[in-house]
Amino acid sequence: MEKQYFAHETALVDEPCEIGKGTKIWHFSHIMPHCKLGENCNIGQNVVISPEVILGNNVKVQNNVSIYTGVICEDDVFLGPSMVFTNVTNPRSAVNRKNQYAKTTVKRGASIGANATIVCGHDIGEFAFIGAGAVVTKNVLAYALVIGNPAKQIGWMSEYGHKLKFDAEGFAICPESNEKYQLKEGQVSKIATN
């Protein structure tokens, strides 16, 4: 059966792994065994995807990203250049902790900026936006905008990536999509329209 994905001749794809239709893997990237990459993903140059990592459909991984065992990225996740995930909270060269890998889930539609670090065991909510260089040391709420080291929430983002400005009643409208959002009890949700 002919493969339905593209891998540059310098990329290394270990078997067994599952790679979805339309996915592209670029120069000097290494896809390790037992990974699952969805359809229409784009894996940039010099990316390492460790064993058992799962990427959903349409995940964009920019250059120089390391995705370590224990990470799951749902559909439509964006991973900016040189961002990194960890998978052990207290690594030591002389101590083998492969049985202590912590899980990290990046929910659908979230974006992680260039040079950000996601400390393992912390989940990133749907459509959250992690600023460039942020160091995430705790869970991030859906639609949250976080920046800094350690990362702190400074606002909320729309699904189109615009900062939301809520009125006194707790409503905001995305300037690009005109979709409406509600802030209630410290959580943001998109209001469905008929």
Inter-residue contact 157 to 145 (CB < 8 Å): yes
CA dihedral 166, 113, 22, 72 (to 10 degrees): -90
Q: Mean pLDDT throughout 162-189?
A: 97
pLDDT above 80 for 1:
no
Is residue 59 domain-shared with residue 122, that is, in the same domain?
Answer: yes
> What is the domain range of residue 171?
165-194
Is residue 102 domain-shared with residue 184, that is, in the same domain?
Answer: no
Q: In what order do the strands lie in the sheet with 111-112?
A: 6-7, 24-25, 42-43, 60-61, 78-79, 111-112, 129-130, 144-147, 152-156
Residue 99: predicted pLDDT: 86
Give residue-wise pLDDT tens across range 127-156.
Answer: 999 999 999 999 999 999 999 999 999 999
Give residue-wise pLDDT tens across range 51-65.
Answer: 999 999 999 999 999
pLDDT above 80 for 2:
no
Residue 30 CB burial class (10 angstroms; 0-12, 13-18, ≥19): middle
Is residue 121 domain-shared with residue 61, that is, in the same domain?
Answer: yes
pLDDT band at 3 (very low <50, low <70, confident <90, very high): confident
Radius of gyration of the chain (CA): 18
pLDDT band at 192 (very low <50, low <70, confident <90, very high): confident
Is residue 110 domain-shared with residue 176, that is, in the same domain?
Answer: no
Residue 16: predicted pLDDT: 96
DSSP classification of residue 99: G
Phi then psi for 6, rounded to 5 degrees?
-110, 135
Count the domains in the chain: 2
pTM of the model: 0.95
Query: Any idea what the Cα angle at residue 76 is, between residues 74 and 78, rounded to 5°?
Result: 100
Is residue 46 domain-shared with residue 99, that is, in the same domain?
Answer: yes
Is residue 34 domain-shared with residue 87, that is, in the same domain?
Answer: yes
pLDDT above 80 for 193:
no
Residue 88 sits in a domain whose CATH number is 2.160.10.10
Residue 98: predicted pLDDT: 84
Is residue 117 domain-shared with residue 194, that is, in the same domain?
Answer: no
- Give the residue from 68, 62, 73 showing the smallest Cα distance to 26: 62
Is residue 24 domain-shared with residue 52, that is, in the same domain?
Answer: yes
- Give the residue from 146, 143, 139 showing the smallest Cα distance to 119: 139
Is residue 25 domain-shared with residue 105, that is, in the same domain?
Answer: yes
Half-sphere exposure of 1 (CA within 13 A, CB side): 4
- Mean per-residue pLDDT of the chain: 96
Is residue 24 domain-shared with residue 75, that is, in the same domain?
Answer: yes
Give residue-wise pLDDT tens across range 86-110.
Answer: 999 899 999 999 888 999 999 999 9
Separation CA 194–CA 190 (nearest Å): 13
3-class state of residue 84 by DSSP? strand
Is residue 152 domain-shared with residue 176, that is, in the same domain?
Answer: no
pLDDT above 80 for 35:
yes
CB count in 10 Å sphere of residue 140: 24
Is residue 149 domain-shared with residue 127, that is, in the same domain?
Answer: yes
CB count in 10 Å sphere of residue 40: 17
Half-sphere exposure of 41 (CA within 13 A, CB side): 29
